[in-house]
């Protein structure tokens, strides 16, 4: 029983560290916002339809907040520190133009 507990604890730790944290992904300089989104984000954020990439809460539905979110991450979302400058602008603009606000 004790061994099983240790195994369960270890796998729980692994699951926790597998999410969150940070990702080293760097977009190619000429990648569009849509390309960056489909490469880096759809693993977790499955588009709802062809024109709806995400559902945004009202407080995140602006460019600055979106950029802050993907650069800073959260408990459950990795930080994408290498999406910067124009790539970050393009990604945030793509999301804003293709999301529903709830």
Taking the C-alpha atoms of residue 75 and residue 80, their distance in angstroms, rounded to an integer, is 13
Q: Is 43 in the site for ligand HEC (CB under 6 A)?
A: yes
- With contacts defined by CB under 6 A, how many residues of the chain interact with ligand HEC? 20
Which residues 56-95 are close enough to bind ligand HEC by CB under 6 A?
Answer: 56-57, 60, 66, 69-70, 74, 76-78, 80, 83, 91, 95
Q: Is 44 in the site for ligand HEC (CB under 6 A)?
A: yes
Query: Contact 99/53 with Cβ under 8 angstroms?
Result: yes
> Whole-number minimum distance, CB 2 to ligand HEC, in Å?
32
> Whole-number minimum distance, CB 17 to ligand HEC, in Å?
12
Q: Which of 70, 61, 77, 60 is nearest to 91 (CA)?
A: 70
The CB-based long-range contact list for 18-21 (8 Å cut-off, 24+ gap) reads 19/76, 19/77, 19/78, 20/73, 20/74, 20/75, 20/76, 20/77, 20/78, 21/73, 21/78, 21/79
In the complex with ligand HEC, the residue whose CB is nearer, 6 or 97, is 97
Interface residues toward ligand HEC, by CB under 6 A: 19, 40-41, 43-45, 56-57, 60, 66, 69-70, 74, 76-78, 80, 83, 91, 95
């Amino acid at each position: 029983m004790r061994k099983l507990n240790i195994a369960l604890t270890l796998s729980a730790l692994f699951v926790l560290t597998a999410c969150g944290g940070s990702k080293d992904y760097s977009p190619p300089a000429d990648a569009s916002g849509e390309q960056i989104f489909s490469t880096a984000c759809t693993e977790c954020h499955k588009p709802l339809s062809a024109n709806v990439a995400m559902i945004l809460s009202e407080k995140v539905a602006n460019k600055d907040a979106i950029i802050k979110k993907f650069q800073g991450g959260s408990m459950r979302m990795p930080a994408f520190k290498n999406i910067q400058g124009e790539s970050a602008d393009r990604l945030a603009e793509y999301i804003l133009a293709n999301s529903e606000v709830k």
